[in-house]
Amino acid sequence: MKVFDTKQQQLIELKVGDPVYIYTCGITPYDSAHVGHAAVYLTFDVLQRRLEDLGNEVRIIRNITDVDDDILRKARALQVNYLDLAAGEISKFEKAMEALNIKKPYSSPRATSGIASILTLIDKLVQSGKAYQRDGYVYFSVSKIDSYNTLSHLSRTEMVELAGLPKFGLSSR
């Protein structure tokens, strides 16, 4: 099986261990799942099934971002607890994936279960100078990582432009 390697900018032979671990971004459960979600998870489902057909054990890990600004904003508007909103949307999402016959993931870690670790990591990044604070927010300092653009092959200027940082008065620090 060949896959496109973004870093190398070419098709490469996929070499896997056993089991094969695949990490995919999951939903941010503040509203109903849509066809874009289905396309992403269907793609990984096909990959998983093909790898299994080739004799591999496959473990899909699909995170759930069950706390973020969108969920908090929607929960306030609906006057419900954000965790209750997330739980309801996760249930609807799982039913939609089941209706599409998409295999369940091996694991679905939730952002809320990792908050302590996330805060520790952010603190380490700030302390090491790889992140900085501005106006109550913490930003990753891309200029501190020489290899930051190795996957995108974009210049720092292009990355800043795509991120929309100038509209916030920020730079590519």
Quote the pLDDT of residue 166: 52
pLDDT band per the 50, 70, 90 thresholds, residue 169: low
pLDDT band per the 50, 70, 90 thresholds, residue 81: very high
Establish if 122 belongs to a structural domain: no
pLDDT in tens, 96-149: 999 999 999 999 999 999 999 999 999 999 999 999 999 989 988 877 888 888
Segments forming the whole domain that contains residue 143: 128-173
Establish if 123 belongs to a structural domain: no
Distances (CA, A) of 124 to 4, 24, 117, 139, 168: 33, 25, 11, 13, 25
Q: Identify whether residues 94 and 35 lie together within a single domain.
A: yes
Quote the pLDDT of residue 98: 95
Q: For residues 22 and 44, is the Cβ–Cβ distance under 8 A?
A: yes
For the chain, first and last CA: distance in Å?
A: 40
Q: Identify whether residues 64 and 149 lie together within a single domain.
A: no
pLDDT in tens, 2-56: 888 888 899 999 888 889 999 998 999 999 888 888 999 999 999 999 999 999 9
Q: Identify whether residues 105 and 143 lie together within a single domain.
A: no
Establish if 28 belongs to a structural domain: yes
Q: Identify whether residues 19 and 104 lie together within a single domain.
A: yes
What is the CATH classification number for the domain harbouring 70? Answer: 3.40.50.620
Q: How far apart are CA 41 and CA 166, in angstroms?
A: 33
User: Which is more confident, 72 or 157?
Assistant: 72
Q: Identify whether residues 100 and 162 lie together within a single domain.
A: no
Q: Identify whether residues 109 and 167 lie together within a single domain.
A: no
Q: Identify whether residues 140 and 171 lie together within a single domain.
A: yes
Establish if 17 belongs to a structural domain: yes
Residue 97 makes CB contacts below 8 A (sequence gap 6+) with 33, 38, 41, 104
Domains held by the chain: number: 2
Q: Identify whether residues 19 and 89 lie together within a single domain.
A: yes
Quote the pLDDT of residue 111: 94
Q: Identify whether residues 95 and 152 lie together within a single domain.
A: no
Q: Identify whether residues 89 and 157 lie together within a single domain.
A: no
Quote the pLDDT of residue 152: 86
Q: For residues 29 and 62, is the Cβ–Cβ distance under 8 A?
A: no
Task: Tell me: pLDDT of 171 over 80.
Answer: no
Establish if 119 belongs to a structural domain: no
Establish if 147 belongs to a structural domain: yes
